[in-house]
Amino acid sequence: MTTELEGPRTDPRSAKGPAPDTATVLADISAILRVVLEEYGLDDFEITLETSFHDDLEVESIDLVTLSAQLREFYGERVNFAAFIADRGLEEIIELTVGDLVGHVVDILAVAEVR
């Protein structure tokens, strides 16, 4: 059963309104991850900035592809997960945390706000 996600609380594709803060983006990404990983039973799992994609969530490569698509659908074209991990080595990808992704999204949306 796939749950529809609402778009971001602040439209990151426009310069109107402030860019979302870390707490808001963490909540949004946590909701996205719960949808992407719902078949693994993460309903009651606490997702924090320190949560590891590999060790804690046991995310598989196909899940990363789905996450990438969901992030683009939710935040728009500016948030490109594939580009975010493209320059990382295998060890860096394995050590990737939710906080790393949250920081990236906050930074991207802040740049979008400035423009």
Q: Would you write out the chain's pLDDT as a tens digit for each of its 115 residues?
A: 444 555 554 444 444 457 789 999 999 999 999 999 988 877 678 999 999 999 999 999 899 999 999 999 999 999 999 999 998 999 999 999 999 999 999 999 998 766 5
The predicted structure's pLDDT at residue 5: 58
In terms of Cα–Cα distance, which of 80, 86, 68, 84 is closest to 32?
68
Query: pTM for the full model?
Result: 0.81
**Residue reference for tokens 């609402």:** 6
Distance, in Å, from the CA atom of 1 to the CA atom of 21, rounded to the nearest integer, reads: 30
Instruction: Count CB neighbours of 98 within 10 A.
Output: 21
The predicted structure's pLDDT at residue 2: 45
The predicted structure's pLDDT at residue 20: 87
The predicted structure's pLDDT at residue 50: 98
Task: Supply angle C-alpha 63, 25, 46, rounded to 5.
Answer: 65
